[in-house]
Chains A and B, each alone.
Chain A
Amino acid sequence: MKIAYFAWVRERIGKSEEIVTPPEHVRTVADLAEWLKGRGEEYAHAFAEPGMVRAAVDRRHVKPDAPIAGAAEVAFFPPMTGG
């Protein structure tokens, strides 16, 4: 599964994307964020503030409880500031 990071989430983690294979118990976006947090200090820093990181599954906005089964791409990013 491809994971993409944007803005300060990308800067804190130090990469814009990566391919990961989460274990089976990782079922939702929130599970994935929690699992990523355990991968190192940079991830823990990126996901430090609960609720501050938004997510998209296959390029659609989702809530933390959204399932990731079958997803090709999950993205994590701060609240948007476009327009």
Chain B
Amino acid sequence: MADIRVQAADFDVAAEVAAVQAGAQDVGAVVTFTGVCRSDGGRLAALELEHYPGMAEEEIARVAAEAERRWPLKGLCVIHRFGLIRPGENIVLVVTASAHRQAAFEAASFLMDYLKTRAPFWKKEHLADGTSGGWVAPRQEDDEATARWE
């Protein structure tokens, strides 16, 4: 049921929400999360997202299957982009649909927490002054956010 895509191209949030709703019956709640590239106060020119082709799709599918096991979802879409992404541009989309809001909210939150720490993607910073800012370090808060679901 889950629609999972790993792609360089941007996505249309409204079109993806419509597609999830069109593919499901009796939906009462749709939660949409969009992760967007920050400029970090003008410091950042772009993020370069590297991924592990094949495993990225498979790992997201495993996390999505776990979300579907835990919550009564009627529709689920996850899109994660790779390549060069500039401030203001989309990075990741999670759309969850269910009969009631709590399942949709919780599943979307669970999916994002797991994507942060388990999906094989790595961000490298390109700074506004033309230099490389290096690889983004993992945040302990992200590990803690994932741990709360275990």
Stretch at the interface among A24-32, A41-49, A63-71, A72-80: A72-80
A77/B120 contact (C-beta < 8 A), A7-B50, A82-B80, A83-B35 known: yes
> Known contacts A6-B122, A7-B124; is A82 also within 8 Å of B49 by CB?
yes
Asked if A81 lies at the interface with its beta carbon under 8 angstroms from chain B, I say yes
Measured between alpha carbons, how far is A29 from B55 in the docked complex, in Å? 17
Assess whether A15 is interfacial by the CB under 8 Å rule.
Answer: no
Q: Return B135 CB to nearest CB of chain A, in Å.
A: 5
Given A56-B55, A83-B35, A83-B119, does the pair A78, B91 have CB atoms closer than 8 Å?
Answer: no
Task: Give A6 Cβ to nearest chain B Cβ, in Å.
Answer: 6
Q: Kindly name the residue among A8, A60, A78, A81 whose own CB sees the greatest number of chain B CB atoms within 10 A.
A: A81
CA distance A22 to B117 in the complex (A): 30
Interface centre among A7, A79, A80, by most B CB within 10 Å? A80
**Residues of A that sit less than 8 Å from B by CB:** 4, 6-8, 56, 59-61, 75, 77-83
